[in-house]
Each structure stands twice: as C-alpha cells, then as structure tokens.
Chains A and B, each alone.
Chain A
C-alpha cells in the first residue's frame, strides 16, 4: 500500500514547477504529514491544519521516521538524471527540513543529511536548494561542530558570486548562523575561514547582502585571528568606500545609504590592523570633491581614530589637521563643518589616550602645537572672519582630553586676556568673549556640567556607554554623556550627528578644569561686560552668557559664587529695559534655578517682589513698570521650587495692595498679578507639572474666600478690585486650572463644598444667593466661579444633585430670567457643560427633546413686543446655542438638528444677526469650559461633521433669503471657516477632480448627492459667497476669509484661477489704506496677492499685471510699516511675472 508521503511526493514531482498550485498543495501536505503523523496513518491534509493546536501524539522519532520515509520516497528523484527533477526533489526536502520540528531529529540523521547536502554542492542546478537545506540544518540542535566546519569548508568551494542574489543571501545567512552557534569550532579553521569568507564576499554588489556581509566581517574581525589576511579583508571591505548607494524610489527593502555607511564604518573601525591601509586612503578621500564622500570620510575617521590609536594616527596628523582645518575655515556646509570638528575632537582624544603607550614627548601637546599656533594667528584679529572657526577648532580640540585642554588653555587664554585688556573696541571685546565662551563650553563637555555633580547617574551612564563601545580596543576611551540632555539648552552645542562626537578620559572626575585659574579674571571680564550699560548689547549678552556658562560648569563655582552670578543677572531684570538682554537673563536664571534654586530664592525672588509697588498710589503703577517684573516672576515661577515661594509672595503683595487705601480705582495692576499666576498655571499644566493640584488647599481657598467675602460685604459690586468682572474671570480661570489637575475624588470633595455654598447657601450662617434671580449683583456674578468649577469636573464626577433634569431645568430657568449678562453667560456655560458630560444618552435625548427644544424655540420665535421680551429672546438663543455646542461636540444627532433651527433663524430680521454670530459659540473654542482640558466629551472630527452638515444649508440659505438678511449666512460661514482646521477644508478641494466639477459648475448642473464631487461643487459656489463676504464690515471675518483664499491658492489653484477676475479687484480694494480696512486686513490681502505670481500661470495673471503694479504703489506709502513691507514684497513678486 502506498503511504501518504509517497503519494504526496509523487503528486509534487508530477506537478509543474515548484510554485504551481498543485505543487504547493502537495508540498504542504508533505510537511503536515511529516510534522504530525505517525507513519502509515492517513489524515486528510485539508483538516490537518487543525491538528496544529491539538496535543500531538509524538513519541520520539516520529518526525525523524517521517523524514526517513520522505527521503526514501524521494530516493530516485533525488538522484534523477534530469536536472529539474533533482532540483525539485532537493527543494522539497529542504523545505520540509526548514519547517519541521528541528529538535526531534537525531545526530545521526543530521550527519547523514548534512553530508548529503554538502557533498552535492557542486551540482550547480540543485545548489540553490541545497544551500537552503544547509541553512535549515545549521539551525538544528543536533548539528554538530564537526558538521559546521565541514559545511563551512564546502561553502568556500562554491563559486558564490556566480549565483543570483537570493542564493548569495542564503550563503551569508548560513555563515551567520554557523558563526552564531559554532563559533569555537570555526575558530579552529583560522586563516582558512577568514580567507574563504573574503573569497565569498569578493565582488558582492547587492545592498541587502552587503548589509549582512558587513555585519559578518565585523564579527570575524573580532573573533578570529586575522593577522595574516588583514590586507585581503581590508580590500574586500574598503572597496565599497565611500558608499554612493541611492535606493530606488520605491525600494521595498528600506535599506538606506546611511545604513550601509554605518555598517561599513563599523567594519573599518573594527580593528587597529586596518590603520596602516585605511589612513592614507581616507586622507585621500578627504580631498574628494563630493561633499557626501568628504563627510563620510570625516565621520569614518572620527569613528576609527579611537580604535586605530595614537601610534597609527601620528604619521598622518599634519595632513589630517590640514585637511580638516580647510573644511572648518572654508566651510560651505555646516554639516561638513560639524563633521570636521567632530573628527578633530576624536583625533585629539585618541592622542591623549595613547600617552602611556608612546615613550616620546607628550604627543598631544606636540601635535596640537602647530594647530594652536595657527588658531592664535587667526585670533589676533578676533573680530575678523576667521576667528570664529578658530575658536570652534580650539573648542573641539580642548574638549577632547585633559592634556589637550590644559595645553590649549595655557597657550590661548592668557593671550586672549591680554588682548582684552589692551582693547577698547566693543566689537573686539565681544569677539574675544565669544572665543572665551568656546573654552567654557569645551570645559563643560570635558569636565561635566553642574547637573552631574555628586549623583551616580553620570558614572552609570558612562559605564553603560563604555560597554556599548565594545569595539573599542582602548578601554580608556569612553563616550561622554551628551551634556545636560534634560535641560533646554540655550548654549552652543555641536548638532548631534550619527554618533556621539565627544570622548573624555574616564578619570575626569579627578581632574579639574584649567580654567579654574582664570576664574577671577573671568568674573571681572564678564561682569563688567554685562554691566557696561552704554556699550552695545551684543557685548552685554556675551558677558551674560559667560557668567551663565561659568555657573553651569561642574565644580567651578562655589555656591556663594553662583550667588554672585545670580545677583549680577538680577540687576538686568531689576534695572534694564533691553528686551533681548532680559529674555536671555531670564533663560539663564531659569536654568540655574533648575540646578541651584537656593541663590535664586535668596536673591532674585525677594528683590523682584520688593520691586513691585505696595500701593496703587505708587507712581510705578501708573507707569506700568511692574509689568516687566511680573513677567520675570511669572517665567521663573514655572520651576516647582520657585513656584512654591513666588505664588504666596504674589498673593501677599496682592492682599497688601488691596488692603491699602487708595484713591486710585484703576485695578489693572492687581489684576496683572492675578494674571501672572494664571499664566504660570497655564504653562505648568501644559508641561504636566504635578504641583498644581496642591494649590487646591492654598491658593484656591484664599482667592475664593476673598471673592465670597467681598460679595457678601458689598452686594452691588462697588469694590473696584474684587467686584470687578475681569478679576472674577481671571480668578475663575485660576480655579479651573487647579481643578483640572485634580483626580476625580478630590474634585468631588471640592465640588460638594461648592454646591453647599451656592445651592444650599451656608457660608458661615449667611446665604450666598448666586443662583437666585433676584440676588445682589456681586453675588449673582459669582456664578462664574460655579461655572468654572462645574465645567472643569471630570466626566465620572457625579454632581451632588437629586436629579439632573431638574437641576438643568432650574439652571435654564435662571438663565432665561437673569438680569445680569455675566450671570447669564456663566449659567449657560454650566448648562452646556453638564449636558455635554451627561453620560446617560437616552435620558439626555428625552430631556433635550421634551424640555429644551420646544420651550426655547417658542420663546425664540415669538414676536417681540417689548424690551423684556427681547431680552428673553436673546437669553433663550444663548441657552439654545450652548446646548447645541455641547451636543455638537459629542456629535449627537440632536446637536445637528438644533444647528438647523439656528440657521432657520437667520431669516428673521430681529434675531437673525445674533443667531449668525452664535456660530462662533457653537464651533469656536471656549477658554473656560467645553474644551479638551476641562474633560469635555469631544468626538474626533466633530468639526468636520459640523462643516459638512451645515455647509449646504448655509449656501442654499444664502441664495434663497432676502437681501436684508443674506449677510447672516455669510457671517456664520466665516465663523465656520475661521474655526475648522485647514485639512477639513482641503478635503473639499480635491484638485484632480477639478475638470469635471468645473464643467458641472459652468453648465449649472445640479448635483445633490453628498459625495465629494458635490462638496467640491459646493466650494465652487462658496467662492462667490466668500468674495461677497469681503464687503461685510467685520475685520476679523474678512481676515478669516482672506486666510481661506490664501490657503486655496496653493492647494486649489484652479479654483482660484477660475475666480481671478473678481478676486483681484476685491483684494486690491482691501489692500488700500481706507476706513474699513484694518492693518491686519490689508496685510492679509497683500499676502494673498503676493502668492499668485508663484502659484498661478502667467497667462492667467498677465492681463492684471499693470493694474496690480499700479495699485500696489499706493500700499507702498501705507502708514503702517508692516503693511509697507508686505506691499514691497508683493510688488516685487508681481514684477517678476514674465512669460
């Protein structure tokens, strides 16, 4: 009886090719049989897949036996005379071997199979399949060391390069697998293996194979004694340098030139033996004309230098430095310059690492001498062009090692200091200071910055990186952690290249910077430069930066000296008006505060707070000099250590100001203090600081009680400070920010307290009637606070009310009846927020349908008889709008329904305009509530849904409505355009479809489906509307429209071209200095016009050229400098239009 395997084998061999359907079916059937079946039991191959998950009854040798049967079944085919049959039979065997349970084949079988495959490699036709088999076998558990050596030898006899890429890939994979698992056995082959591999690799061109081969070379260099084949290995490797590979445009393998460069570089940098061959060639490539080759050479030199070692580098030093210097002094490309500097840095580092090896005089000093001399020549004229690159060279070299730094500092700094003393020219002083900065930076790189003192991180980091540098022969070399990653750095650093360019000697903890000797001189120079108030600001900035760098050095300044730095910088904040200087001073203090907050707490904060006026009668209040001080405090307070001090100080000051009697009723100053707190909270919450939440027990109660007390004591809100609406708004925002940073349970506690206060009215016995219609004004307004808190609650916080519908009904009633605008706005916001976060969708729908829509629309559409009715109507509209917004955000169907009823109102001459402006409420972003930060339910793409929903209605409404209300649709449209993201609008402008739609538009074809063609069609109709809306008297809407035009010009030029006839006169009109055109409108119009010459075709623009140039002449004489500037640019571009 024929076994399943025999039958399948026959099917397979008979099938055409090895990838036809029958062949594939047969081969997988064979595989399944081998994997899962005891010999002789027949299972339908179709169901066998299910067996994979069933516990397989495997007694030892099942798979093995099956393989045996397979080999027997294949027997005659494997030795067939016919090439194709033989190859095919080999193929199925390899396939099965690659996919069966490899741990179940015993050593004997593996031996036999390996020998079989190995011995037949000379068979050119079957070789590809045989190699696949060997690759599979090499991964078997039972594959012995002996097998490995035999296989390797056999591979070296194959002429690998005569095969196709895939086959060669298999060979490299096999070698990779052998090296991974049988390294020791292969090492015994020694030279034969190394040589054999070079033979295999010689002539390889495919990037996929090369990537693998480079990895293997690196491995071989590390693991084998390559001494006798260095040159062979080098030749097969270096012949690829420099890599000029360009991946094809749709490369599926994703191999980049960078990948290849990097792995080749690792090969070249793998052994010092390569040095004598590589150095001359690399040097030669440095003078190459191709920028990429040059860069590659420099990066390779940088990578190789530490491996090749000082001895190998010294003969080439002079030439190397010359070549690199040219790149730096005559830099054409910053990337090349950086690469050259990095290479120089590494070379110098290597030299110092070799001190103990070489008996001759200190090579670092010797090698650096000519370099230093040349740089010093260039530094003789510090303000000349070459001094900057010279400074950079010295920095790169000085940051490389302690001897180099010492040599350079001793040679250069005294001369520079003397030059500084002898010079009176501010520009020259500035240039010298710039060079001194380079030394400080170098010192920071080499000896560490302030942040890695006395903590274990630096050591740990270094250790890790040293391990990663396993290629490094010289273990004295380690990569320095890139200095102060965590801190935003305003200082100069080398842009990061593909490898870290900085090397420092490991003993740096014990070394101190040679700059220590010059500390006092530096203090003097930088200090006087900073304080020289009559000098030009670049010099002062230089002084500031110098002081800052000194403070940032590790173990350079004692804490009291940091204090001196801080005090010097303080003076700028206290006395100076130069904006740039102040900004830099703040940045610097901010960074110092990150590491050493104590001096700031001691000096900066008290002096700044003291500078704030105590009383509103202080002349400083009228002159607004406090603004700068507040700004400085605000910036610094972002740091948690300072936040905890500055905010209470501000509050203390605020108390004092509001308690001091004054005749001045202008409350801008106290409000500015509160705004500062708000800004700080804003920045901190954007950076996700965790110390905001604690304000709920400190800042918030203090402010809230202040407001409540004032409202109770002063019902009419006559207190100028606490009764003012802006004060209330700022405080509400502060409270909202703090609340947002709390978790649900803390929120709940606070909200419960607040409900007690507002709804039940138990504030120390007396009641706060914020939620009553007839409440005193100042109490009524406190509802804003209520809105801020309720609006900022998390979704899961359950409000302490008996029933949500009742609560909402009550609030809506209050909103409709309220007398005060602030109260009404606040209550409607609360309503919106509650509706938005209402989790029970069914309950929400019922409530809105039954209680809201009918009731509100009745009021909105009822005829207005008197003022009271009118007020009620606007109130109803407002409530309606906020509920709509709440629903639109969660893309609730009712929201869109309610939007439609708003659009219907546009036709009403009474309420239409207000309704159209209400679109700003619906789609605009609110700061206080219903935004992402305040945990509102916001669905993705809700703006897009809204846009698509209301656009057709607005367009058709515009067309069908009467002239006196037409513009309402335009106003709404402009609000929509202003608020939707650009991408949403662009989806409406698929440029490719233009021809068809243009045709449709031209022939007045009506298309009424909701597919994208009709959308684009709508946009075409939109254009005339938009142009018309430019004549509306609302500047902000005009700007929104103009921005839409601006965007459309680049993204849908055909649409613009079709309307150019109306657009150009409209834009020219808006560019003129006439009454309704504000500066921003004029600029926006000019910006649009300026785009046309590059975006539209000559033949479209040519008819307008003369007119545009003429009329732009008027804008050249505009009163506003910014407008003139845009006019000049615009006109210049129109002049360039030529056929």
Chain B
C-alpha cells in the first residue's frame, strides 16, 4: 500500500469560517455560500479520512463570488504523484454540481505546483463532456457516491474526535 505524507498541520486553518463574502448589493439578498462545508467531509478514496483531515481541501483555497455566480476551488493532492487526484477532483465537482444552484459556474483546479500532471488533471476536471462521460460509468459513479456518503457530516466528525 502506498504511503502518503501526512500533511504538516501547523496552524490548522479554521475551516468553519465562511469565506469573506463580497456581495456589494445587500439589497439583493443572495446569501453567502459556504462551499467549504459542502466538501470538507468528502472521504478520501483510499483513506478512512476526510479531505479536511488530509488537508486536501482548505478554506483559504476556495473563493466564491456570489454576484456573478462563480466558485473557484483549488485542492492539494497529498503527494505530487497522487494517482487519485483526478478522482478527488471529480468527487468535489460532483458534490458541488449536486449542491449548488445552477447559476454558479464552478472551476476546480489542482493547487499550483502540487501535482506532477497538474495541467492534465485540470483539463479533465473542467471539461463538461469528460465529466459527464465519467459519470456514465456505473462503477466510477459508485466510487464517487461512496466518497460522498460522508459529505453530509460537514466537519462534525472532526469535532467528535477531539475529546
């Protein structure tokens, strides 16, 4: 079994904080969204841990623009040659597809310089056709659904561990 480097947990980011909302039109009551909460508890395909626990998804690498409807997510694979990067990205993509209103356009990228085949992964993740095709694959869909099964916990599992 492949070993992954445990991320250095210096100054664990406080994921529960909402990202700064830049809504300049308070009269138009579009609520600030919290996509971090949506993805933090997705399970890693290989570990019994969540993306938050592995520091794959981090609060400060997610930006939301509520006015134009754009969400940008950057995630950090645990190691530069992680073969699961695409799958993790796909999970995030599917979760946001299912959980965000249609008006949002979502970009998902590997954080710059954290993966060997960064460009290939990015391209694959942001290609509508290829994402749709991937989800046609019943086996793949099952794996994705499995990873997403824990997504509803929204970080509650982390606080539960801290006794």
Contact partner, A1124, options B29, B31, B103, B148, Cβ 8 Å: B31
CB of B12 closer than 8 Å to a CB of A: yes
Residues A1132 and B151 in contact, CB atoms below 8 Å apart: yes
CB distance from B122 to the nearest CB of A (A): 25
CB of A427 closer than 8 Å to a CB of B: yes
Contact partner, B98, options A427, A1120, A1121, A1131, Cβ 8 Å: A1131
Q: What's the Cα separation between A1135 and B98 when bound, in Å?
A: 8
Q: Which residues of A contact B38 (CB under 8 A)?
A: 1128
Q: What's the Cα separation between A1116 and B149 when bound, in Å?
A: 19
Residues B29 and A427 in contact, CB atoms below 8 Å apart: no
A1132-B95, A1132-B98, A1136-B145 given; 12 more Cβ-contact pairs under 8 Å: A334-B163, A385-B9, A427-B10, A427-B11, A536-B14, A1116-B100, A1116-B101, A1117-B103, A1119-B29, A1120-B31, A1131-B98, A1132-B152
CB of B83 closer than 8 Å to a CB of A: no
Contact partner, A1129, options B10, B100, B152, Cβ 8 Å: B152
Q: How many A-B residue pairs have CB under 8 A?
A: 43
Contact partner, B10, options A383, A1114, A1128, Cβ 8 Å: A383
Query: A1116-B101, A1124-B31 in contact; A383/B163 too (CB < 8 A)?
Result: no
CB of B99 closer than 8 Å to a CB of A: yes
CB distance from B17 to the nearest CB of A (A): 11
CB of A377 closer than 8 Å to a CB of B: no
Q: Which residues of A contact B136 (CB under 8 A)?
A: none
Query: A1119-B29, A1124-B31 in contact; A492/B163 too (CB < 8 A)?
Result: yes
Residues B101 and A1128 in contact, CB atoms below 8 Å apart: no
Q: What's the Cα separation between A492 and B38 when bound, in Å?
A: 31
Contact partner, A1121, options B11, B12, B31, Cβ 8 Å: B31
Among A425, A492, A536, A1116, chain B packs the most CB atoms within 10 A around the CB of A1116
CB of B46 closer than 8 Å to a CB of A: no
Q: Which residues of B contact A334 (CB under 8 A)?
A: 163
Q: Which residues of A contact B31 (CB under 8 A)?
A: 1119-1121, 1124
CB of A606 closer than 8 Å to a CB of B: no
Query: A1116-B100, A1119-B29 in contact; A1132/B9 too (CB < 8 A)?
Result: no
CB of B102 closer than 8 Å to a CB of A: yes
Q: What's the Cα separation between A536 and B148 when bound, in Å?
A: 31
CB distance from A1123 to the nearest CB of B (A): 10
Contact partner, A1131, options B14, B99, B103, Cβ 8 Å: B99
Residues B163 and A1128 in contact, CB atoms below 8 Å apart: no
CB distance from B57 to the nearest CB of A (A): 16
Q: What's the Cα separation between A1117 and B99 when bound, in Å?
A: 9
CB of A384 closer than 8 Å to a CB of B: yes
CB of A280 closer than 8 Å to a CB of B: no
CB distance from B134 to the nearest CB of A (A): 15
Q: What's the Cα separation between A1117 and B30 when bound, in Å?
A: 8
Residue of A nearest to B6 (CB): A385
Q: Which residues of B contact A1116 (CB under 8 A)?
A: 99-101
* CB-CB nearest 6 A-B residue pairs: A1117-B101, A1128-B99, A1116-B101, A1129-B152, A1135-B98, A1136-B145
CB proximity to A under 8 Å, residues B124-163: 145, 148-149, 151-152, 163
* Residue contacts A-B, CB under 8 angstroms, 10 given: A383-B9, A425-B11, A492-B163, A1114-B101, A1116-B101, A1117-B103, A1120-B31, A1132-B99, A1132-B151, A1135-B145
Residue of B nearest to A1135 (CB): B98
Q: What's the Cα separation between A1114 and B103 when bound, in Å?
A: 10
CB of A1065 closer than 8 Å to a CB of B: no
Residue of A nearest to B101 (CB): A1117
Q: What's the Cα separation between A560 and B12 when bound, in Å?
A: 39
Q: Which residues of A contact B14 (CB under 8 A)?
A: 536
Instruction: Mark each residue of chain A from 468 to 500: 1 if its CB lies under 8 Å from any CB of chain B, else 0.
Output: 000000000000000000000000100000000
Instruction: Mark each residue of chain A from 868 to 895: 1 if its CB lies under 8 Å from any CB of chain B, else 0.
Output: 0000000000000000000000000000
Q: Which residues of B contact A1128 (CB under 8 A)?
A: 38, 98-99, 152
Q: What's the Cα separation between A383 and B12 when bound, in Å?
A: 10
CB of A1113 closer than 8 Å to a CB of B: yes
Q: Which residues of A contact B103 (CB under 8 A)?
A: 1117
CB distance from A578 to the nearest CB of B (A): 14
Residues A1113 and B101 in contact, CB atoms below 8 Å apart: yes
Q: What's the Cα separation between A492 and B163 when bound, in Å?
A: 8
Instruction: Mark each residue of chain A from 531 to 546: 1 if its CB lies under 8 Å from any CB of chain B, else 0.
Output: 0000010000000000
Q: What's the Cα separation between A1120 and B32 when bound, in Å?
A: 10
Q: What's the Cα separation between A1131 and B100 when bound, in Å?
A: 10
Contact partner, B12, options A427, A1117, A1132, Cβ 8 Å: A427
Residue of B nearest to A1118 (CB): B31
CB distance from B159 to the nearest CB of A (A): 11
CB proximity to B under 8 Å, residues A343-401: 383-385
Residue of A nearest to B18 (CB): A1121
